[in-house]
Amino acid sequence: MKIATAFPSKYLKSADLNGNEVACTISRVEVENVGGQGDEEEKPVLYLAGKTKGVVLNRTNAMTIASKYGDDTDAWANRPIVIYPDQTMFQGRMVDCIRMRVPAATAIDASEIPF
């Protein structure tokens, strides 16, 4: 048994990605209480089409998406996103995290553009 599976979460964790980048489509963003018992903390949660777990958005990931799709989270629906495992510094130590990027536009044949 992996210890990460012993404590399931309703939100996606880095370990759930099994070291893989995952191409997804954004379904919606909802503000939810993500704190533990008695710990009220509301944050935006990104939901992905066809997936049951949401991703709690931190400022870095939210701003990454907003820089490409705009500030209105309602406009993010049906847009592509790539999520991937990474590491970040937190309280003086490296910890696993989830990062996001907007995929580059699909390349087209150069003959289609006169330059």
**pLDDT, tens digit (0-9, with 9 covering 90-100), for 28-79:** 999 999 876 767 789 999 999 999 999 999 999 999 999 999 999 999 999 9
State CA 100 to chain mean position distance. Answer: 5
What is the structure's pLDDT at 4? Answer: 62
Q: What is the mean pLDDT of residues 23-28?
A: 95
Confidence class for position 96, pLDDT limits 50, 70, 90 = very high
- As a whole number, mean pLDDT of residues 77-94 equals 95
Instruction: Look at residue 34 in the predicted model and tell me its pLDDT.
Output: 86
| pLDDT greater than 80 at residue 92 | yes
**pLDDT in the model for residue 74:** 96
- Exposed (0-12), middle (13-18) or buried (19+): which is 74, by Cβ within 10 Å? exposed
Separation between Cα atoms, residue 41 and residue 26, nearest integer Å: 23
**Cα distances (Å, whole numbers) of residue 111 to 6, 106, 108, 114:** 54, 15, 8, 7
Domain ranges of the chain: 8-103
Find, among 66, 69, 28, the residue nearest to 47 by Cα.
28
pLDDT at 113: 64
The string of DSSP letters for 39-108 reads ---EEEEEEETT-S-BEE--HHHHHHHHHHH-S-GGGGTT-EEEEEEEEEEETTEEEEEEEEEPPPPPP-
pTM to 2 decimal places: 0.82
Per-residue tokens: 36: 């533990």
